[in-house]
Structure 1
Amino acid sequence: MPVTASYRAFILERLLLALPDVRARDMFGGVGIYAGTMFFALIGNDVLYFKVDDHTRPTYESRGMRAFRPFGEGGEVMQYFEVPADVIEDTDALRLWASAAVTVARRAKQRKAKRVG
């Protein structure tokens, strides 16, 4: 899941225009992206992925975007989907899609907390 320094910088620059308090953290050869405490995106192989759920996944699928598979095509499918290039380039669209991904991350965190508590 290598990520080039230039792609990482480009994505962070774009996301900082769209959302406050965005930060990145190296993880498992890729990059995890947070908005505050919410882990809502990742970069792998110079592709940006946003967290999805049953409510948001159809939007990505309708655009032909693919799920993140950290172990290749035959491996596990994670709840992150590619972000279309035109969305990355359009700050207003990126803000909407990123905000939705943060909301998905928040819902997932709340569900997990209810199961634990």
Structure 2
Amino acid sequence: MATDPALLAHIRDLFAGLGPISTGRMFSGTALYVEGDVMFAAILGGTVWMKSDDSTRAQFDAAGSRPFSYMRGSGPREAASLMSLPDSAMDDPDEAMQWARLSLAPARDAAIRKRAQKARKLARPQAER
């Protein structure tokens, strides 16, 4: 299912304080990027998911957020690297920005790891690729 354009516009407005936001396809939804390749949030299944890691998980848990989950052949899987944006933030730009700023550190760390992985892959001899 594609992301509802009205929801995407609303989310872009909520996070406008981060600066220019670009988007890309992610599964059947939309990934939200700042600073070029820093994916700080995604819209999947009508829910906004914020980038998270061990340093931010407790704050998301305390706010009632839940981890992204999906089905695999072996059963349900959880991806705690994406936590739901608390419902209260959907209509409160100030609160939404607090969550977006919290998500930036894990998002930047993930982008750094992804860039390094890409560089290693490009550095391998053609025969190994």
Q: TM-score range with shorter-chain normalisation?
A: 0.7 to 0.9
User: C-alpha distance in 2, partners of 1:60/1:98?
Assistant: 12
Could you say which residue in structure 2 is the equivalent of 1:65? 65
TM-score, normalising length: structure 1? 0.82
Could you say which residue in structure 2 is the equivalent of 1:75? 76
Tell me if the contact between 1:50 and 1:80 (Cα under 8 Å) persists in the aligned partners.
yes
For structure 2, the residue ranges without an aligned partner over 5 or more in a row are 121-129
Could you say which residue in structure 1 is the equivalent of 2:107? 105
1:31 paired with 2:42, answer no
Aligned-residue Cα RMSD (Å) equals 2.2
Tell me if the contact between 1:12 and 1:23 (Cα under 8 Å) persists in the aligned partners.
no
* Cα distance per residue 1:42-95 (max 9 Å; x no partner): 0011110001000101111112211111338x4222210000121232222222
TM-score, normalising length: structure 2? 0.75
Q: Which has the higher strand share?
A: 2
> Percent identity among equivalent residues?
27
Secondary structure, counterpart of 1:69 in structure 2: strand
Indicate the structure (1 or 2) with the bigger Cα radius of gyration.
Answer: 2
Q: How many pairs are equivalent? A: 114
For structure 1, the residue ranges without an aligned partner over 5 or more in a row are none
